[in-house]
Structure formats: C-alpha cells, structure tokens
Amino acid sequence: MLTPVDKRAGLLVAVITGGRPELKQRPTAKFLGDLKAAGFTNICWVVAERDAHGYERDEHEMVVYPDRWAEEYAASHWMNTTPYEPGTFYGAFVGREYACLEAERRGCWGVLQLDDNIVEVCMFKNTATGSRVLRENGGFAVFADVLACITLTTNGRMVGAQLTAVASSAPTVSRPGFPYSCFVEEVGKGREHWFGPFEDDITHAFQYGVRADDATALVVPTLMYRKESSSKTGMRSKYNHERSVNLHRIFPQSARITAMTTKANGVAGKDNERVFHRMKAGAIETPQAVTDRASYSKVRDYLAGILEEYLSARKEDAKLKVQKRAR
C-alpha cells in the first residue's frame, strides 16, 4: 500500500446518504469490504436523524446528525434562490459538513466522502477490462489508497476520482479539477465549510481552487466511477431547472448555464432538456504543487505498473472478442 498504516487508520470513510432506506438502494455498500480488508477500517454511514429510524443497517456504524443542528446549518449556509424553510429538504451538503466534523472529532486527518449510489468502479477506461484490472489489484481499496496518498503529498485539500459521465482528460497522475461523489478531503485547520443545497461538490472545489493560499482541488483521471442515474430517490428526487442558477451567480467567470439532455444530469425522459451548468476549462485556477516528491513518484510508478497490466489485458480481451465474432 502507498498510504502508511497510521494514515489509513486516520482516514474516516463516510458514505453520505438520505432518502434511500434499503441497502439495495445504496450500491456503494458493496465496495466497503475492499476498504476494510486494506486497513481503512474507520467506516460509517452518515444520515439525518429524521431519516435514520427506518434505515436498514449493515455491519458499519451509522452516524446520525441531529435535526436541529441540520436545520440551523442549512439555514446559515443556504445558496438557493429562495430562503430555506424549516422542516423541508436541505440536501446532502449538511451531511457532508457533518462528516467533516465527525472526522475532526475522531482526530482523523481526512475523510473519504462517498455518495451512496456508486454502482461501478474501474481504471483507465469504463470497460470490463478496466473493471477486472481494478478488482485484481485490490478493488476499491486502490481508490482510497491513491486518493489518500495524493492528498498527503500535494496541495490538494480535496482529491477525487473521475466521474465517467464527465469527459476525461489525457492520462496523468492528478490534475486540478472537480471531484464530485468520491473524494478525500483534508480536515482540520484551513478546511472550507460546505454550502448547498445543489452543486455543493462543485462549489466546494471552487472554494479551494480559487482562494488566496496554495490550496486546490484535484482529480485523478485514471480512477473512474459510475453512479446510478435512473432512480428518483435521494438528491435526484429534488433536481429541477434552478439547480445550477446559484453556481452561476457565485462563479460566473467559470460556470455558465445551458440546456442538456444527457441522463447523468437527471433528465426525466426522452427528448427532455434540463437547464444545467457547463464548466469552463481551467476553472480551478490554483495549480497542483507536489509537496513530497518521493511519495508522489511512488503513486506515479504504482499507476504506471497497473497501466501495463491493463494494456496487456485489453490486448488479450480484444483478441478473444475478435475470435468470438469470427465464430
């Protein structure tokens, strides 16, 4: 492993959830065993008090944040076009903030935040080959290990994997960008607070990527994940045409409003369009800076080794596919 034992133990793994009481609605659960086996044992679900009663549990701890605290935090960190109304929907950002607070209470250096609806993980390309090569190298533990190590060896305060629905750049170890639903955030001094209810992950990356010090937000393009996109549970049940408005208002230099039809944006059906945001290239202004070159080089060499395995496996898989089609 790239990440030292004490740093693995000091990383809280927090799955942010809400509105999905059954475990089968939370596919991220299937990846948690890989983390535990690799020494990332500090794992929990983070859920609101008002949802917790009917929530199906597994072996992992359920951290419940109080309704009163959630209401107060939502009201004071609200970015929507209309003020927050007590007792109504407040989004995932409240749970994200509580996960950071929980990590700090436990004396952790960071938190691996995961959305509860991740259905697939892979490396290099979203193919069967990419998924198999990841499994053969430790599965989801590779994500936690690489993201943690890059956070510890760079100026990235928020370092995440690549969402398959977002166009990927040329392969590199890490680069400035927007982590969405699978990322490590360093907690403690200098941590940014979360705002919502929508586009909280993008706003949070902006908070790090445009502030005056050397902090930034990074993406690791070789680590890829796909989220469930068809249900109307969780945050998806609340998506609407105002979703991106405040993001554009706060960061007009980098976020513009457009109409999109891709399913990843929560479109209801065929031929429907949704008002959505599009990020400009270079929106995260602060460049990456490596603070521990020796350890960062180990990450690069580690990924390069797995890339060789992937290229070899892809070649063999292509041969088998051709043979199958020929038959």
* Percent with pLDDT over 70 in the chain: 83
Neighbours of 144 (CB within 10 A): 27
Taken in order of first residue, the domains within the chain and their CATH numbers are 5-234+293-326 (3.90.550)
pLDDT number for residue 262: 59
* Percent with pLDDT over 90 in the chain: 69
pLDDT number for residue 161: 97
Angle at 102 between CA 97 and CA 103, to 5 degrees: 100
Mapped onto helix, strand or coil, the DSSP state of residue 114 is: strand
Alpha helices in the chain (DSSP H): 5-9, 32-37, 49-52, 67-76, 93-105, 128-136, 140-153, 200-209, 245-250, 293-326
Assess whether pLDDT exceeds 90 at residue 147. Answer: yes
Sign of the alpha-carbon torsion through 212, 213, 214, 218: negative
Higher pLDDT, 179 or 252: 179
Higher pLDDT, 23 or 237: 23
pLDDT number for residue 122: 96
Among 3-12, 37-46, 73-82, name the one with the lowest average pLDDT. 73-82
pTM, to two decimals: 0.88
pLDDT number for residue 268: 46
Nearest to 192 by CA among 174, 217, 175, 218: 217
Work out the average pLDDT over 231-238.
Answer: 55
DSSP state for residue 53 in the 8-state scheme? T
pLDDT number for residue 170: 65
pLDDT number for residue 280: 67
Work out the average pLDDT over 242-270.
Answer: 62
Distance CA 62, CA 48 (A): 10
Average pLDDT value for the chain: 89
Among 160-164, 216-220, 264-268, 282-286, name the one with the lowest average pLDDT. 264-268
Work out the average pLDDT over 13-29.
Answer: 96
Could you read off the pLDDT of 198-223 as tens digits, one per residue? Answer: 889 988 998 999 888 999 999 999 99
DSSP letter for each residue of 79-107: -SSS---TTS---SHHHHHHHHHHHHHTT
Among 93-102, 191-200, 244-253, 269-278, name the one with the lowest average pLDDT. 269-278
Among 28-42, 56-70, 211-225, 269-283, name the one with the lowest average pLDDT. 269-283
Could you read off the pLDDT of 279-322 as tens digits, one per residue? Answer: 667 788 899 999 999 999 999 999 999 999 999 999 999 998 88
For 6, how many CA atoms within 13 A lie in the half-sphere containing its CB?
A: 3
Could you read off the pLDDT of 130-140 as tens digits, one per residue? Answer: 999 999 999 99
Distance CA 163, CA 178 (A): 9
